Homo-oligomer: A and B are copies of this chain.
Amino acid sequence: MKMTRLSLLAGLTLAALAGTSWALAPDSGETLADLVEVQKYGRAIHIMAMLMVGFGFLMVFVKRYGRSAVTATYLLVSLAIPVYFLKDKLGLLGAPNADIDSLILAEFAAASLLICAGAVLGRLKMNQYLLLGLLFVPCYAAGEWIVLRGGLGLIPAGHVIDTGGSIVIHAFGALFGLAAMLSLTPPRHFAASIQSDATSDRFSMVGSMVLWVFWPSFCAALVAPAEVPKTAVNVILALCASTLATYGASLFLRRKLAIADIANAALAGGVAIGSACDKASPGAAFVIGLLAGGLSTFGFAVIQPRLQSLLKKTDTCGVLYLHGLPGLLGSVAALFSVAGINKGAQLAGIAVAACIALVSGLVAGKIVSVLGARTAPYEDAEEFEIDDRGEGVPAWVKVERVLEK
């Protein structure tokens, strides 16, 4: 740092002596490196839009649980980011990072937590979501450290290819959530009790589209500037492919389209291209997207109803089909689409991430269930001030009440 600044000063002095006022180092003295950080900041804001508006509203498809779903999103993000940021700055499980890198890694942790929470959406109270988050973040950080950064010496740092987090973010979050759901919820089949309507479906599509649009920034967040264009093109091609494949598969498997397929499976290309996003060719990215869209739709249309009736348990948002299977697909697809990949390390990374997620998820679910476990899903009215017709209590009625007291 000292040296860099000194050498910069030297250079600037020389330039100044040469009698120039120069454009590359204006008065405020910013450098190219500063601008690179500000560009990363721009991508960090895009990810924040995905976390809040994207994940938040994608979960609003449940008609009577909209307020709870967005509030849970608010709380989980607000919990995960400071906790991970603190971990990073304290240098736990890896050396501390610069501010924006640290922020982006914290956002990745929050994304994985939201995926995890999608599996148990509607079966937890707000304080249980927070407890789940507190248990999740350390496990996530451990997984990331072991799989990507050489933690415990299991896998050499940098050998697992997972730039956009197919493994450590998507598959990890989904498997943790599924394990927590299994150990948390009593066996019961929630018959006909979760409904969507035209309005909640449209909110859900707002969330889906926000995720789609900003996904390239998620994958390219920490990529070097020169690699951003290639990465962006790959991610967008994968998403286009999965959207088209979802339309075809939904029509083929159900005969009519399901809006839930469109809102969810269309995103599977983004999940699956994560691992190889900065290294695959555009053609490979398109094929990965096609496969992911088809697999995800097959999951929602065919696997989900069978698995639910088998387990008598419900993965509320279908995270297995949007994040779990496409994440695993993407991590394996990297074996074929990334030149010079260390196949052993990649497979070991997948296996280790899955094990950590499943074991820690089972334990976390048991712990969370200490605060209560429900057979029927929650509705907004249980934790929010709303009247019988589902309307918010007007402020003016509350005035009356206050005065009566």
Contacts and interface: CB of A to CB of B under 8 A. Distances in A.
Interface of A: 1, 3-5, 7-39, 41-42, 44-46, 48-49, 52-53, 56-57, 60-61, 63-64, 66-67, 70-71, 74-75, 77-79, 81-82, 85, 89, 98-100, 102-103, 126, 189-203, 205-206, 209-210, 212-214, 216-217, 220, 224-226, 228-230, 232-233, 236-237, 239-241, 243-244, 247, 251, 254, 256-260, 262, 266, 282, 286, 304-306, 308-309, 314, 380, 383-386, 389-403
Contacts of A23: 4, 7-8, 31-33
B391 A196 contact: yes
Nearest to A37: B229
Given A23-B32, A78-B239, A257-B71, A402 B213 contact: no
B209 A53 contact: yes
A387 to B, nearest CB: 9
Nearest to A79: B244
A220 B42 CA distance: 12
How many copies of this kind of chain does the complex include?
Answer: 3
Contacts of A34: 225-226, 228
Contact of A396 (B37, B56, B126, B192): B192
Given A30-B226, A190-B396, 10 more contacts: A11-B18, A14-B18, A30-B36, A37-B225, A41-B220, A67-B259, A82-B286, A99-B229, A197-B390, A206-B206
Nearest to A256: B385
Contact of A259 (B39, B392, B399): B392
B79 A240 contact: yes
Contacts of A195: 391-392, 394
A240 B76 CA distance: 9
Given A229-B100, A232-B103, A243 B75 contact: yes
Contacts of A389: 197
A395 B194 contact: yes
Nearest to A24: B32
A63 to B, nearest CB: 8
Nearest to A207: B206
B1 A29 contact: yes
A82 B241 contact: yes
Contacts of A391: 63, 195-198
Given A53-B206, A126-B257, A384-B259, A35 B225 contact: yes
B201 A383 contact: no
B48 A81 contact: no
17 contacts: A7-B21, A11-B24, A26-B36, A32-B35, A45-B214, A52-B212, A56-B205, A63-B391, A66-B198, A71-B247, A74-B212, A74-B262, A195-B392, A196-B391, A198-B390, A198-B392, A259-B384
